[in-house]
Amino acid sequence: MDILTILREDYARFPENQTYSIYAEDITFADPMMRVQGRKKYEDMIHFLATWFQNIRLELHGMEPQEQVIHTRWTMSWTAPLPWRPRVVVTGRSELTLNDQGQIKQQIDYWDCSRWDLFRQHLPWAT
């Protein structure tokens, strides 16, 4: 199975049963809120999301491979673990850079909103 097929399947069932073998041991992940280094820490981050947030959905809108980089566009949403259970939605894109073995060595996520806009979605009086 090729990496594009695996990624499509992983996005569809995120955060459950991810195929971590497509990521290099020394993967770097970064988004506007955090940065992690190493496959174990990447797995831990996904496990944290699955543990603390509910009804997570990652919808893939497009995937465009270009030599050693795969570009994806997506919408991620979840229910935050707050008493008023706000539904949070972030759209964005990812740049997945492959190493010589065809594994993802770097994933950089870019959001279409600011960190402040994301935070405001958690506040019932700010929507």
pLDDT at 127: 54
From the list 105, 85, 89, the residue with the least C-alpha distance to 97 is: 105
pLDDT at 125: 79
pTM for the full model? 0.92
Average of pLDDT values for 3-22?
Answer: 97
Task: Let me know: does 117 contact 79? Beta carbons within 8 Å.
Answer: no
82 within a domain of the structure (yes/no): yes
Give the tens place of pLDDT for each residue, 15-56: 999 999 999 999 999 999 999 999 999 999 999 999 999 999
Q: What is the CATH number of the domain that holds 54?
A: 3.10.450.50
* DSSP state, residue 16: S
Report long-range pairs for 5-12 (Cβ below 8 Å, ≥24 apart). 7/60, 7/63, 7/70, 7/72, 7/96, 8/60, 8/63, 11/58, 11/59, 11/60, 11/72, 11/74, 12/58, 12/60
21 within a domain of the structure (yes/no): yes
89 within a domain of the structure (yes/no): yes
Q: Which domain holds residue 30?
A: 3-120
Per the structure, the count of domains in the chain is: 1
127 within a domain of the structure (yes/no): no
Residue 35: Cβ-neighbour burial (10 angstroms; 0-12, 13-18, 19+): exposed
62 within a domain of the structure (yes/no): yes
23 within a domain of the structure (yes/no): yes
